Structure 1
Amino acid sequence: MSNDIRIKKGLDIKLKGEAEHVLSEAPRSKVFSIKPADFHTVTPKLVKRDGDDVKAGETIFFSKYSPSIKFVAPVSGKIKEIRRGAKRVILDVLIEADATDTYVEHGAKSPASMSGDEVRQFLLDSGCWPFIKQRPYDIIANPSDAPKAIFISAVNTAPLAADIDFVLKEKKQAFQTGVNALAKLTEGKVHVSVAKASSLLKDIQGVQLHNVSGPHPAGNVGVQIHHVDPINAGEKVWVVNPEDVAIIGTLFETGKFDATRVVSLAGSSIEKPQYYSAKIGAAVADIIGTNPAESRIISGDVLTGDKVAADGYLGFYDNELTVIPEGNNYRMFGWMPFKDNYIHSTARTSFAWLFPNKKYEATTNLNGEERALVVTGEMEKVMPMDVYPMQLIKACLAGDLEKMENLGIYEVAPEDFALVDYVCTSKIEAQEIIREGLDIMIKEVG
């Protein structure tokens, strides 16, 4: 049986450069990267050093304060360099890859014949545990916790987002195996959300299925949790990305940590946007090819992704690379309304609102500067949760723990405020403020 989640508040941003449903094998990168910064709050303790040999799935570092959580190599090869920043903080670990991978063999296992503790230990030992994140706080889950439910959002409504059905087309059985394993970790339900028009995962067994419809951020797992099983103080909910569920399933079926992803290469700066098969931490240049001039490369989607250099690497959790023009041009008389009708606007300062299905070529131009935060009602229009976004942002800025709790800090993650960033005329960095607020809660409340 399935339930419907209908979202009315939000905003679909239609952009040019959507990836075609064509899958190619990306050239194998000579160097791969694992960045501790991808794992928020984790302080890495190195197991390997410069020059050490590693197998795919072998531990590179573990969490200093949770030693059971291990982070493993996506490929086999040799540790080329451990790059450090200020105060010797580890920025990333570079692995010079072999021509073909040699794997750590964990042995194939059947989740059905394992206890919850055995599944948990298997995921920890193999390096798959970092795929499991928790709400509140949007951090890697604590293995000693017992979540009240596990949520998997197999619908992505962000601009130029990867098509989950296409990504999982050849991984459906592995996804089912991954779901079977995750079900052992909770006494509650495993919730899987799919697009209402989707058919690929409609017959997945052992889950509570939800049909999701509505504008972005309907695909955000936090929005789905809010409408299905809201988080109260002291409760934990675990979330896993759908392709990561398939990687977990592949681990149980083969006994190997296979870090292969289907990566969407999209954006108006890409001549032929399509999908590529690549490993976690692959070099961006090997997927994009020739770097388009005057373009911004984003690991992730345009609303929540991270800017990466042309010689950078794919993020651990990302299955998208988006390339759009840099907004480094000055628009003459840009303040005048109805002047630039090729620019998408939510404030009806152009005639764009008359063409709701038109696709736009977005740039990184802010079209304004940061200014005083004023009451406008803009944020509430794109926030489909029972949360007062402006008041919560102000509570985070003030570090007021009691107000943050009362205003719903436990239910949100930075990605839930991505549209707030987009529509707010004050140009504030709402996602950054919410992340800082969550960090305060981690430190003070735990």
Structure 2
Amino acid sequence: MRSTLRSSPQSTPAFSLIEVLIGVLILALGLLGLAAVFPVVVRQQRTAADQTQGLIVARNAEAYLRGHTLTTTRSVPNASVPGGGLLAPSDPIPEQNRRGLDILRYQGVTATNPYSTWSFNAANPDRPGPWEIPTYSLVYTNPDRGNMLVAATNQTAGVQFAQRDRLWPAAYSSVDTRVDDNKYANEPRYIWDVATRRVDPGTPSNVGDDGIQFAVFVRRIDSSIRVSRRDLINDPNDPLRLSRPTRDLRLADVLTGDRLGLGGVVTLQRAEHRVAVAVTNNSNSPVPTLNGEGEYAMPMRMQIEAIDDPDGQGLSRFLLPSSATDIQRRLLREPGQKFVDNLGNIYTVVKATFDKNPPNTSNPPEVQPENERRSILVSPAASANAAALAASGDLQVVFTPQVPAAVHVFTMEPR
């Protein structure tokens, strides 16, 4: 007679405490690895999206600028030579106007000097023209609206367009479709700006015939812009408040300074206005605020003191000037930063590196502190022409305080 053996509950195998702890440790390591990889994946996806969408925005900006033919009209003879495409802010008082830039044909006075204000070096007209960027020293248009102005023969007439015209997607390109709490579909994500230069400074007899080169910088809108929450249907300044659906302010509202819809425009309070990309100030310390509060972050210029090829691996080492502030150099040293030289070449910063001949010789160059480094490795390698210009003190670069999503360079010839 066969007997059946049955396992008792006490004989069922189980995990020991050590095995459980090992399992928890493995799970924790896995979660830590996932947490470490996830931000990298998100950043790579965002970079890929920026590269694709940024180029689309840059091409749209080129089409927009080419469509304004006032910027390409052939200039008159030497008696009054327009500079063509000079950039300036709409108002010198940042508190009154922090929202836009001007693009206009600047009327250079040339009665006694055959070179306009565009000449990089009047004594050496064969050198490449410099990049012209905004300045707070000129007033050209409405100080309250911050419009950009493309003027023909003076500083007041021409085609105007404001910050809202440089947003992508365009402000109010979709209806008030709420995605989640106080967020709406298809809000602006990018804004573009330009710097301009003469491709060839020309000769005294033909100064006005040179082409104009544009460097378009596409940047993401500040990520931490806060939008005020208030019930717009109770706004006493809204003539159509009874016919409008109730909704809060949205990003497009604070970037444009007004609210469109149902046939009416409601001007917002000045404290609610935001610029798309902001810095603390545009002088020597343009620290990005990332919240749209401050001055509009305008492009910046910098001279390059020297260029060398450190390793022959397709990179070049650019030596930044000692005259620049630490903040200016830090902005240009940012990995992924893009800039354009005054030959029209676009470079990407790979990393900051030690100086070939650091000012502090007490330590080897390899252990030079980060805040003292004035050298950056860039890709692609610079040409021999660019290196020669740097050696002569004539190589200039233009960049933006924030790392751009895309940079595009094109040239328009005068008609």
TM range (shorter): under 0.3
The higher radius of gyration belongs to 2
TM-score normalised per structure 2 = 0.27
Answer 1 or 2: higher relative contact order, Cα 8 Å, separation at least 6. 1
TM-score normalised per structure 1 = 0.26
